[in-house]
Structure 1
Amino acid sequence: MTSLKLLNDDVPVSETPAQHIRNAIQALMLAEDRVQALTIPADPMLTELIRGAEARCFKALFDLGREEVSNG
């Protein structure tokens, strides 16, 4: 079985999984803004990839919230 490894050790350990996902969503939103500012016209494929990643993060955050409610 392969284990995942952080690419950047600067990630705070004290954050919860939900906080990590929220921060990832913020980073993706900033990335989308930069893509639209720097690529005129904006690259639709790259924008769609970023939005897809945002949607996956929102879904994971929603599912985590549901798990916390059912376990709590």
Structure 2
Amino acid sequence: MIGKSWQSELYQYIAGIVQNHIHTVLAINGMPDYMHLFFGMRPTQSLSDLIQDIKGDSSKWVNQSQLTKGQFS
């Protein structure tokens, strides 16, 4: 579950991941149990690789920051 107290930090972190891969974030929003990401994507990276990076890196950040009581994934 994405906590309201750290939701905007998570969205900023995810935007940074996308931008580091040279894509353009257009919008991020969601609910406590899911999120939507709308972005412009350059054609030299596969969508599945980008999503894997976003999910893996953001989950690692949440866990290392100890933002949840249990394991976040």
Please classify the TM superposition score into its range, dividing by the shorter chain length: 0.3 to 0.5
Structure with the higher strand share, 1 or 2:
2
Answer with 1 or 2: which has the greater Rg.
1
Higher normalized helix content (fraction of residues) = 1
Larger RCO (CA under 8 A, 6+ residues apart): 1
Task: Normalising by structure 1, report the TM-score.
Answer: 0.38
